[in-house]
Amino acid sequence: MRKPQLFQRAQGSFVSKLVIVQSNVSQLDEPVYHETARRISDRLHVIYWNDYGLVRTKEDPELGTVPQFGESSGWDYPRTWLGVQDHDWRAVLRSIRAQAPAAVILSDLPRSARARIALGLRLRGVCVFMRSDKNKYSPGTSSGFAGWLERVLTRQIFSGLAAASPLSRDYYAWPDSRPVVLFPYTTLAAKFDPGPDARAAAAAKVRGALGIPAGHKTFVSAAKFAARENPWQVIHSFERVASERDDVALIALGDGPLLPEIRAYCDSRGLGNIHFPGYVAFTVLQNYFLAADFFVHFPDVEPWGVSFQDALVAGLGVAAGQNVGSARHFLRDDLARFLVDTTDTALCADAMSELAAMDDPRSYFAPARAAAEPFLTESVAANLAALLE
């Protein structure tokens, strides 16, 4: 993606600074900000504008708990919190301007406030990027005249696009002549691919705790047990695989309203090789990936799906629904056969059976894993730092 040249003059000196403004604190973004700050120090500043501060406090309605990210205290980067009760969009604009930025990335702000802030900054010569993960798989996409109007207005309001994936750039039909930077939800390589010793230790701990025998081909899934994420398809597809071979196991991560019903079904069918650890905090999520050989993800539609990306970085074999954005992007050529119709249990089970027959899934999926490298935390931090070069 093309890099724009950005400069800002401040009080007679020539400086450049990047400001990122977003509402929600994200365990996927904080490592990026830490790494970016390590590269450009105080030339980065992140402004959070929400009603809870710098630590998530709101309960996830499907999980029934506050997500435990836990690692945020270890991320060091310049940041400011503005409470929405005491600060309107004008106050946010003033806070941004006080940083004298050359470039600003506006993330998950309310649409009206984001547009007003963007226009206020552009009138003062600041290059303003809209960060968006919207693509053709997203709910609420616009088509026809509405889609055309959305694209035109986006190009009028914002200088550049901080695209969460190439799918977002395609959705907005962003011109090659305009600034664009890849700013996805990232995977931390040190977390999901820590090296053979750490991998072996994590695998032994998780498999031992769950009672998975050594040598069993192990699948992992990570999804909310809610209808929109289609957890039943993973269960039914694995059941078919398990009926053909007795050396397989499934670690079904997550919680949600369907979990009690699914547990009861597995008990009634004698599926003791399906394990339900429940909701797993992000701090230890990688251990379950490192304990597995394969990752499966069968929602009917998902705009991206960062867990699929995590699985590739972890070196797992993968299969996913054909309308999962990350899977569509990474599985190309011969690997595209692992994109399946999630309404067809036989096809899903066949993909899982083919995975279970593999001895070296890491090597087999190496092309997809290589394609995921631009989505690593370190790669994205380098991209953001490069905006100021």
Which of helix, strand or coil describes residue 384? helix
CB 199 within 8 A of CB 166: no
For domain 8-187+375-386, the question of CATH label 3.40.630.30 is answered with: no
Instruction: Write out pLDDT tens, residues 325-364.
Output: 999 999 999 999 999 999 999 999 999 999 999 999 999 9
pLDDT at site 56: 73
pLDDT at site 67: 57
d(CA 307, CA 320): 11
pLDDT at site 6: 37
d(CA 385, CA 141): 31
Q: Which long-range contacts (CB under 8 A, 24 or more apart) does 340-349 make?
A: 340/298, 342/230, 342/233, 342/298, 342/299, 342/300, 343/300, 345/233, 345/236, 345/237, 345/240, 346/240, 348/233, 348/234, 348/236, 348/237, 348/296, 348/298, 348/319, 349/236, 349/237, 349/238, 349/240, 349/241
pLDDT at site 4: 44
Token code pair at residue 29? 């973004």
Q: Which CATH superfamily is domain 189-371 in?
A: Glycogen Phosphorylase B; (3.40.50.2000)
Please check whether the two domains, 8-187+375-386 and 189-371, share a CATH topology.
yes
Instruction: Write out pLDDT tens, residues 105-145.
Output: 999 999 999 999 999 999 999 999 999 999 999 998 888 99
How many other CB atoms are found less than 10 A from the CB of residue 40? 18
Give the β-pairing of 79-83 and 180-182.
Answer: unpaired
pLDDT at site 10: 29
User: How buried is residue 126: exposed, middle or buried, by Cβ count under 10 Å (0-12/13-18/19+)?
Assistant: buried
Domain ranges of the chain: 8-187+375-386, 189-371
d(CA 308, CA 192): 12
Q: What is the pTM of this model?
A: 0.90
pLDDT at site 15: 44
> What does the pLDDT profile of the chain (389 residues) look like in tens digits?
444 433 332 233 334 899 999 999 998 999 999 999 999 988 999 999 999 999 877 665 544 556 555 555 578 999 999 999 999 999 999 999 999 999 999 999 999 999 999 999 999 999 999 999 999 999 988 889 999 999 999 999 999 999 999 999 999 999 999 999 999 999 999 999 999 999 999 999 999 999 999 999 999 999 999 999 999 999 999 999 999 999 999 999 999 999 999 999 999 999 999 999 999 999 999 999 999 999 999 999 999 999 999 999 999 999 999 999 999 999 999 999 999 999 999 999 999 999 999 999 999 999 999 999 999 999 999 999 998 87
End-to-end CA distance of the chain: 15
DSSP string, 197-252: HHHHHHHHHHHHHHTPPTT-EEEEEE--SSGGG-HHHHHHHHHHHHHH-SSEEEEE
d(CA 190, CA 142): 38
